[in-house]
Amino acid sequence: MVAVVRALGWSYVSTLASEGNYGESGVEAFVQSSREAGGLCIAQSIKIPREPKPGEFAKVIGRLMETSTARGVVLFANEDDIRRVLQAATLANLSGHFSWVGSDSWGAKMAPVQGLEEAADGAITILPKRASVPGEGLGGLGGTGEDWEGLGPSPSCPNGVCGPTGRERIGRDSPYEQEGKVQFVIDAVLAMAHGLHSLLGEACPGGGLCAHMDPPDGRRLLTHIRRVAFNGSAGTPVSFNENGDAPGRYDIFQFQGGNGTGAYRAVGQWVQGLHLQEDAMAWGSNSSSPPPSVCSLPCGPGERKKPVKGVPCCWHCELCGGYQYRADLLTC
């Protein structure tokens, strides 16, 4: 998300977090990454209470307007908080002032933006790259009669008169498609299995189980899990880095809408780096580029920058007086 903000040419943004581990740790990681990257300052970091009082979201918008030139706002917030922030911006007649950058909790969901398309217009959101597990990947899953309720008629009873036979298979005999994040659950189980298999080969080289695996040592198992590399359930590579994290792979969307309509459009991806399709992005009818989100505008001719202490992205412009001229950006 830091790379997205920098690619938009922003140097001064605010952050919004829902109270709790997801929101607060997300913003903390964003702020830390922005420090490491350099050239990006945080105007405000606002936390939305877990149980907001009446008028709380109007106060949030009011606080954001205290640094109104920070038009970029990075959100790590739950779906309900996102919607209420957009509602508050609309009620304050500020639709279009802020440009939102939302984490995967926003993703490509319509619920937060329904009826608030103008306030959400131009929002950039991300989602982990994912794919539905193909039918053959679910071929071993059958289920009971109760499991098949709501999935349509069974193959042996196309008119739905008789019950399931128990031989049905999801993906083969039903149009049901797994939700995209299911692949991560399956791949987590597969990573555990590959790690156990690797540990077994090391601890019991003679084959079968041995005393060293009764029970297996958790630390050794973790080491083996972090070494695994295989193609996952959706055909994508699965591996882990030295911190135990899988390589980040994200799709990037922009919500493009207004006048009561709107849709998410894929505008890029992150795979070992950011790839944005700038020609696919839209910024309203009056602009072909993202709105500025900066603390200070460039100084004019004959003016020097006077930096604001402690905020490297901010400065005042001072006119070089008398017979002075500007020698460089900071000196008359």
pTM above 0.95, yes or no: no
Please state which of the ranges 133-142, 193-202, 242-251 shows the lowest mean pLDDT: 133-142
Is residue 41 domain-shared with residue 117, that is, in the same domain? yes
Find all residues with CB under 8 Å of 252, minimum gap 6, and list them.
4, 124, 125, 126, 266, 267, 268, 269, 270, 274, 276
Per-residue pLDDT, averaged over 186-191, amounts to 92
User: pLDDT at position 140, please?
Assistant: 47
State which residues form the domain around 194.
Answer: 178-235
Is residue 10 domain-shared with residue 97, that is, in the same domain? yes
Burial 114-129 (b: 16+ CB within 10 A, else e): eebbbbbbbbbbbbbb
> Does residue 285 lie in a domain region?
no
Q: How many domains does the chain have?
A: 4
Is residue 139 domain-shared with residue 154, that is, in the same domain? yes
> Does residue 293 lie in a domain region?
no
Please state which of the ranges 55-59, 128-132, 149-153, 292-296 shows the lowest mean pLDDT: 149-153
Is residue 154 domain-shared with residue 217, that is, in the same domain? no
> Does residue 290 lie in a domain region?
no
Is residue 216 domain-shared with residue 258, that is, in the same domain? no
Is residue 122 domain-shared with residue 193, that is, in the same domain? no
Is residue 11 domain-shared with residue 121, that is, in the same domain? yes
Is residue 74 domain-shared with residue 59, that is, in the same domain? yes
Is residue 9 domain-shared with residue 125, that is, in the same domain? yes
Does residue 266 surpass a pLDDT of 70? yes
Using CA atoms, how far apart are residues 307 and 44, in angstroms rounded to an integer? 19
Angstrom CA distances, 327 to 266, 301, 304, 320, 331, stand at 46, 11, 9, 10, 6
Q: 10 Å Cβ neighbour count for 289?
A: 10
Does residue 181 surpass a pLDDT of 90? no
Per-residue pLDDT, averaged over 72-100, amounts to 96
Compute the C-alpha angle 236/101/186, nearest 5°: 25
